Amino acid sequence: MTSFVREILSASGKLGENKEDLATKIAKAQKSVEERKAALRNAAEAKFLDYQDEENSVSALAALLESSVRDAEALEANLRLHLKSDLADASNDLQEVCFVVTTHPVSFHNGCF
């Protein structure tokens, strides 16, 4: 019976092809797997590089923003210090003027001081 099956397979050209086809299919599958692995690796590397670029950009912007906030806080503190001292000086000057005006009344004679 084995020879009958062998004769039929041989006559149809499928007796030797199965072994050859299997090896060819395995080789094609391996090649396809390797190509897909390479494509996946390339895609992952590209995404990682893009992510690194974006992360670096975001980090640089965050550092710039933090620096700007520190500069604004320093400017605000400086303004408060100067305004406070100027306000104190102006208040003292006003008090002196008020004291002089109230203690030394001004009289007008013939339109002159």
Which pLDDT tens digit goes with each residue over 51-110? 777 888 888 888 888 999 899 999 988 888 888 777 778 888 888 888 887 887 666 555
* Long-range contacts of 7-12, Cβ-Cβ distance < 8 Å, separation of 24 or more: none
Over 60: is that where the pLDDT of 111 sits?
no
Those residues with Cβ within 8 angstroms of residue 15's Cβ, 6 or more apart along the chain or in another chain: 6, 9
Residue 49: HSE in the Cβ half-sphere, 13 Å Cα cutoff: 6
What is the average pLDDT across 3-21?
Answer: 64
pTM here?
0.41
CA 57 – CA 60 distance, rounded (Å)? 5
Going by the DSSP 8-state scheme, the letter that residue 77 receives in this structure is H
What is the average pLDDT across 2-16?
Answer: 65
- 109 forms beta bridges with 112
* pLDDT at site 23: 77
* pLDDT at site 37: 92
CA nearest neighbour of 33 among 44, 45, 21, 25: 25
